[in-house]
């Protein structure tokens, strides 16, 4: 006999969601709507006032077009923002993506401004993300795939520290239509048969075979890979291959976003990136994609996958199957149009003009750490180390494009930086308590202290590039310690120096 009485039924609901219950009743922005809806409910009629017609009450939650209204209590709004931005399944995305995530379930009058404020002041975002560089035009954009999982791109992110389980690569597989990405930890030592096995176990199992694979590796890799997959599937069918060398630029973008997400979460040990990989994948796929204008989950499955903050929100509408399919096809059609537009935009990109940035004394700025810098890295892997350190205050302007900063006492770095290495800090210093302000570690910078005079100049050639160098005598050094420096660098850093 089956034991039917031992079933346990646990329904979960986050506590924070229940704090929203009844919270709009007394709120200045929502109390009127609340009253109108409540009154209508008692009279068993719909609201007579037109401006409240999209409001409804459900289980003590005030909803506007199905979204939960959040009262103007800073703590509650900040908690919503934290869950939709800082939590690992949210992924520290930028303003637009975060706004889109919040707006899926929640609503309040100044929402967009609040998201803008919150994200631009986020310390982790400022320290970990490079300002996106615009990519050059795509020379041969790939054709937009006709169906889901018809064409996928494959790429590897290397340069990561080895995890406890020995993984040191991320295999990035992206469906080119829905942009659904899979991040799979692998090892550099894996050969194609091992990759084929993982492909069948993790991807073929869910999506079947794609028609083509785009990879930035050489064509031999792809054809070996196909063969290995076919042999793993034990099919007797043989395959012929056609090569279409094209550029895509998609995987590069995915890699950059994944690196940004990981950097925001890994600890200083940095070998725990593998633990965050599934969460980063979720964060990537549930955020709106800038080329398709939809989230990858929405395009692949037709609905948003539930994040922790959405548990217990009983507002999801069940759509009839027919409506669901129609909606899905419509969304895919729109996504294709948006992809085409994104490709055209990328093609039309001209080189961006250099931004002219100026700072004032007292401004708090972050210092950009040179990419892959060995000297500045805070963990064992430069790639996962923060991109910026600081914030530090500016003491004065030095020359035309350089600034002197007030660095921590322990810092050995020369405190003058070119403007291109500085980024204004938007973080409230009061909010930095408990956050990590990373001081530069003591290093000997290549540009030592102040120059006293230049001794002589010479011409130098590096490949086809000709430039002038000068022998600089430094104020705190002897003549023997003089060093050859690029004239342009010295002029930029110390414009007052005579030659």
Segment lying near Zn ion (by CB under 5 A), choices 90-98, 165-173, 221-229, 485-493? 90-98
Print the binding letters for residues 35-74 with Zn ion: x by CB under 5 A, - otherwise. Answer: ----------------------------------------
Judged by beta carbon, residue 52 or residue 309, the one nearer Zn ion is: 309
User: What whole-number distance in Å separates Cα of residue 144 and Cα of residue 250?
Assistant: 12
Residue 109 CB, nearest approach to Zn ion (Å):
23
**Contact by Cβ (8 Å): 153, 215:** yes
Q: Is there binding between residue 129 and Zn ion (CB under 5 A)? A: no
CB of 441 to Zn ion, least distance (A): 24
Residue of 168, 125, 131 whose CA lies nearest to 380: 168
| Cβ atoms of 337 and 286 closer than 8 Å | no
Least distance in angstroms from the C-beta of 124 to Zn ion: 5
Residue with tokens 């949210």: 90
What's the rounded Cα separation, in Å, for the pair 382 and 318?
47
Is residue 487 a contact partner of residue 469, using CB atoms and an 8 Å limit? yes
Taking the least distance from each CB to Zn ion, the nearer of 98 and 454 is 98
Give 394's strand partners.
405
Q: Which of 67, 97, 105, 124 forms a contact with Zn ion (CB under 5 A)?
A: 124
Closest CA to 489 of 422, 416, 424: 416
Among 122, 383, 402, 470, binds Zn ion (CB under 5 A): 122
Q: In what order do the strands lie in the sheet with 67-69?
A: 55-58, 61-64, 67-69, 106-107
- The residue among 84 and 339 lying less far from Zn ion, judged by its C-beta, is 84
Q: Reply yes or no: is the peptide bond before residue 391 cis, omega within 30 of 0.
A: yes
From the list 92-100, 316-324, 405-413, 480-488, the region that binds Zn ion by CB under 5 A is 92-100
As a whole number of angstroms, the distance between CA 171 and CA 174 comes to: 10
CB 54 within 8 A of CB 37: no
Least CB distance from residue 94 to Zn ion, whole Å? 9
Please give the structure tokens belonging to residue 413. Answer: 């770095």
- The reply on whether position 257 binds Zn ion by CB under 5 A is no
Output the smallest distance, CB 107 to Zn ion, in A: 22
Q: Which is nearer to Zn ion, 40 or 125 (CB)?
A: 125
- Residue 122 vs 172, nearer CB to Zn ion: 122
DSSP bridge partners of 366: 423
CB of 320 to Zn ion, least distance (A): 39
170, 153 contact by CB (below 8 A) = no
> Which long-range contacts does 223-232 make (Cβ < 8 Å, 24+ apart)?
224/192, 225/154, 225/192, 225/195, 225/196, 225/199, 227/192, 228/192, 228/193, 228/195, 228/196, 229/196, 229/199, 229/200, 229/204, 231/193, 231/196, 232/193, 232/196, 232/197, 232/199, 232/200
> Of the two residues 87 and 497, which places its CB atom closer to Zn ion in the complex?
87
- CB 57 → Zn ion: shortest distance, Å? 34
Beta bridge partners of 106: 68
Instruction: State the nearest-atom distance from the C-beta of 118 to Zn ion, in Å.
Output: 8
The answer to whether 92 contacts Zn ion (rule: CB under 5 A) is yes
CB of 293 to Zn ion, least distance (A): 22
Exactly one of 125, 138, 262, 367 binds Zn ion (CB under 5 A); which one?
125
Q: Considering beta carbons, is residue 122 or 170 the nearer one to Zn ion?
A: 122
Give the nearest distance from C-beta 92 to Zn ion in angstroms: 4
Count of residues near Zn ion by CB under 5 A: 4
Report the C-alpha gap between 35 and 32 in whole angstroms. Answer: 5
Residues in the chain, total = 499
Stretch touching Zn ion by CB under 5 A, among 84-92, 156-164, 379-387, 474-482:
84-92
Whichever of 58 and 78 has its CB closer to Zn ion, that residue is 78
Q: Which of 79, 77, 112 is nearest to 98 (CA)?
A: 112
Strands 451-462 and 483-486: unpaired
104 versus 123: smaller Cβ distance to Zn ion: 123
Nearer to Zn ion, 389 or 490 (CB): 389
Min separation Cβ 127 and Zn ion, Å: 9
What is the rounded CA–CA span in Å between residue 66 and residue 61? Answer: 10
Nearer to Zn ion, 98 or 364 (CB): 98
What's the CA gap between 389 and 100, in Å, rounded? 29
Stretch that binds Zn ion, among 55-63, 91-99, 289-297, 375-383 (CB under 5 A): 91-99
Binding site for Zn ion (CB under 5 A): 92, 122, 124-125
């Amino acid at each position: 006999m089956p034991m039917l009485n031992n079933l346990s039924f646990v329904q979960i609901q986050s506590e924070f969601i229940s704090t929203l219950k009844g919270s709009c009743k007394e709120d200045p922005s929502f109390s009127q709507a609340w009253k109108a809806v409540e009154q209508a409910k008692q009279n068993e009629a719909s609201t007579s006032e037109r401006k409240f017609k999209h409001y409804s009450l459900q289980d003590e939650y005030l909803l506007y077009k199905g979204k939960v209204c959040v009262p103007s209590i800073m703590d509650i709004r900040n908690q919503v923002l934290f869950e939709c931005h800082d939590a690992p399944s949210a992924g520290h995305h930028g303003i637009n993506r975060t706004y889109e995530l919040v707006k899926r379930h929640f609503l309040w009058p100044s929402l967009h401004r609040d998201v803008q404020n919150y994200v631009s002041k986020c310390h982790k975002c400022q320290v970990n993300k490079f300002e996106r560089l615009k990519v050059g035009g795509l020379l041969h954009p790939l054709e937009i795939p006709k169906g889901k999982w018809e064409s996928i791109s494959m790429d590897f992110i290397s340069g990561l520290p080895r995890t406890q389980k020995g993984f040191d690569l991320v295999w990035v597989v992206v469906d080119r239509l829905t942009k659904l990405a899979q991040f799979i930890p692998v090892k550099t030592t894996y050969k194609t048969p091992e990759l084929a096995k993982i492909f069948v176990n993790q991807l073929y199992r869910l999506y079947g075979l794609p028609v083509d694979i785009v990879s930035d590796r050489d064509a031999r890799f792809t054809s070996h890979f196909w063969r290995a997959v076919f042999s793993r599937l034990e099919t007797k069918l043989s395959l012929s291959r056609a090569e279409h060398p094209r550029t895509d630029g998609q995987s590069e973008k995915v890699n950059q976003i994944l690196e940004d997400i990981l950097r925001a979460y890994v600890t200083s040990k940095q070998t725990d990136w593998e633990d965050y990989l599934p969460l980063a994948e979720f964060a990537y796929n549930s955020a709106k994609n800038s080329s398709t204008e939809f989230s990858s989950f929405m395009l692949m499955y037709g609905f948003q996958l539930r994040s922790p903050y959405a548990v217990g929100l009983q507002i999801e509408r069940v759509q009839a199957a027919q409506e669901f399919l129609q909606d899905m096809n419509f969304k895919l059609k729109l996504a294709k149009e948006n992809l085409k537009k994104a490709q055209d935009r990328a093609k039309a990109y001209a080189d961006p003009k250099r931004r002219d940035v100026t700072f004032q004394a007292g401004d708090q700025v972050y210092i950009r750490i040179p990419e892959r810098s060995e000297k500045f890295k805070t963990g064992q892997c430069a790639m996962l180390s923060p991109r910026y350190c600081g914030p530090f205050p500016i003491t004065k302007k030095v020359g035309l494009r350089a600034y002197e900063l007030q660095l921590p006492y322990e810092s050995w770095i020369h405190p003058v930086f070119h403007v291109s290495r500085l980024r204004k800090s938007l973080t409230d210093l009061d909010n930095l308590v408990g956050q990590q302000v990373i001081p530069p570690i003591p290093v000997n910078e290549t540009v030592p202290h102040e120059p006293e005079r230049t001794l002589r100049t010479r011409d130098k050639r590096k490949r086809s590039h000709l430039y002038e160098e000068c022998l600089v005598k430094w104020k705190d050094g002897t003549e023997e310690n003089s060093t050859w420096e690029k004239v342009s660098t010295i002029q930029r850093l110390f414009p007052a120096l005579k030659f």
